[in-house]
Amino acid sequence: MEEQSIRPIHPKGDFFDLKGNHTTVSTEAIAGVTTFFAMAYIIMVNPSVLSQTGMPWGAVFLATIAASVVGTLIMGLFANVPYAQAPGMGLNAFFTYTVCFALHFTWQEALAMVFICGLVNIVVTVTKLRRLIITSIPQNLRFAIGGGIGIFIAYIGIKNAGLLQFAVDGGKYVSADGKNAIADITKTAITANAGAVPELVKFSTPAVLLALAGIALTFILLVRKVPGAILISIAAITVLGIPFGVTQIGGSNSISFGDAVSQLPLTFCAAFGSKGIQSLFADVSRLPVVLMTIFAFGMTDMFDTVGTLIGTGSKSGIFNIADENTLSKGKGFTTKMDRALFADAFATSAGAVIGTSNVTTFVESSAGIGAGGRTGLTSVFTSLLFVLSAFAAPVISAVPSCATAPALIAVGIMMLSSFKEIDWTDLTEAIPAFFAGIFMSLCYSISYGIAMGFISYCIIKVCKGKAKEVSPMLWVVTGLFILNFVVQAVL
């Protein structure tokens, strides 16, 4: 097969290379809007999570939007790829429940660690270490990551649609930080044991019925190849939700733009103040814990992004084979993936400066990619909507999850085709592929799925006497993943 050539990032006369990417302004606009509404929940959810640490809700609200705008614009204008960035779910929970609650760091110190994490990832990107990590991933594991992200996205969609409930065995429960036994599980987040089993809810509530209607409408429009099918479905279910009370403008977490602006100085540059980085390294006895926490932040952030870019970019053609091959050979930022990785690392540090947890590339960007987004123009449209959301938060947040969930389910199904490239009859290939693909959804983490895939791959190669086939970089990364699990067990 003829080797693909590197496509110019910004061809002369066409900044986004719309023609070369076989797309149009209208398609990119629809994709940008679709991506935004698929991830708009973060605007309200992130402040709700981080404000538990004592951070002012309004300040985090604006910081979430500002960091998303900065990160997404860099993706669009610098890397020319249709990915959006925002503070990551999971990473914000780690920030709140582990770093602040369990380890007793202040939120200012936690922001300082996030800032350092971003700097480390920038260095890793500039020095080609990230490139070497990506190119060390075996082809079959790349297919497994792509298909696994499909399962993960679909699972998020099913969960957001409210189709699942979890039956939990009776027993002792602890708070999410793992420290305190609790009696009233209605007042705090809890960690349940392995007795929690998912099951279907009764189809008796308006939100669930609307989600089912949205799933049916989305699939019908997609099968009929209606342009803008996903966005049409989101809009239709949102409107239908008004008379049923599911689509509600405003809420308990609403705040005026003026009030939010007045709070922003409390978090802006707080990472560098006396309660931030200055306090973080004041006590030498805490240094090992500080370094381990920064390491845990960085590993999760980096591989969430790497998994998202490989899984969605390769499948959609946003990154071709030549793009990936050049990662290990080129100098500077010669490919889209080079620039996308840098944009992600830079956005994390920028977000910490403004006042939010790790900014990462959102897997929900796949909804926009599924709607036809292929260039950075998609990201530009998404970032513009983030800007508008600062002034219209009650309206933007009114789009219910049951309206956006069908989009994620549909995109997840499309991505499952990556699994067909794997030889499932060969257990040496099937086992790592299974762990990489399935554990993403079971553990609700892209990076954990990649970790399990890497670890099982190395173990199998050793058992087969083919340890030399594993690249040195993959050995290093696998060792770091194991160390990360040890660190989290100790923390």
Tokens coding 467: 């340890």
Determine the straight-line distance between the first and last CA of the chain, rounded to whole angstroms.
Answer: 50
Q: Are 484 and 296 in contact (CB under 8 A)?
A: yes
Tokens coding 60: 């985090």
Q: What is the pLDDT of residues 201-242, one digit of tens each?
A: 899 899 999 999 999 999 999 899 887 788 788 889 989 999
Q: Report the candidate in 386, 383, 406, 384 with the shortest Cα–Cα distance to residue 396.
A: 386
Give me the chain's average pLDDT, please.
84
Tell me the percentage of the chain whose pLDDT exceeds 70. 85
Q: Which of 9-13, 168-172, 349-353 has the lowest mean pLDDT?
A: 9-13
Task: Spell out a b/e string for 159-190, using b for 16 or more CB atoms within 10 Å of the CB, else e.
Answer: bbbbbeeeeeeeeebebbbeeeeeeeeeeeee
Give CA–CA dist 64/87, Å, rounded.
6
Question: DSSP code of 87?
Answer: E
Query: Is the pTM above the cut of 0.85?
Result: no
Q: What is the pLDDT of residues 374-394, one digit of tens each?
A: 999 999 999 999 999 888 766
Q: What is the pLDDT of residues 431-490, one digit of tens each?
A: 999 998 888 888 877 778 888 999 999 999 999 999 998 999 899 889 988 987 887 777
Give CA–CA dist 127/42, Å, rounded.
32
- What pLDDT sits at residue 1? 37
Alpha helices in 224-355 (DSSP H): 229-240, 257-263, 277-280, 287-316, 321-326, 336-354
- What pLDDT sits at residue 383? 97
- What pLDDT sits at residue 5? 52
How long, in residues, is the chain?
Answer: 491
Q: What is the pLDDT of residues 176-204, one digit of tens each?
A: 555 566 555 555 556 666 667 888 889 98
Give CA–CA dist 85/72, Å, rounded.
5
Give CA–CA dist 240/220, Å, rounded.
17
3-state secondary structure 59-107: HHHHHHHHHHHHHHHHHHHHHCCCCCEEECCCHHHHHHHHHHHHCCCCH
Give CA–CA dist 172/185, Å, rounded.
10
Q: Is the pLDDT reported for residue 88 higher than 70?
A: yes
Q: Are 95 and 114 in contact (CB under 8 A)?
A: yes
Q: Report the candidate in 28, 107, 110, 36 with the shortest Cα–Cα distance to residue 68.
A: 36
- What pLDDT sits at residue 330? 54
Residue 189: alpha-carbon gap to chain centroid = 21
Tokens coding 241: 């939700």
* Contact residues for 363 (Cβ-Cβ < 8 A; gap 6+): 149, 152, 153, 156, 304, 308, 312, 446
- Residue position matching structure tokens 């002792």: 172
Residue 158: alpha-carbon gap to chain centroid = 17
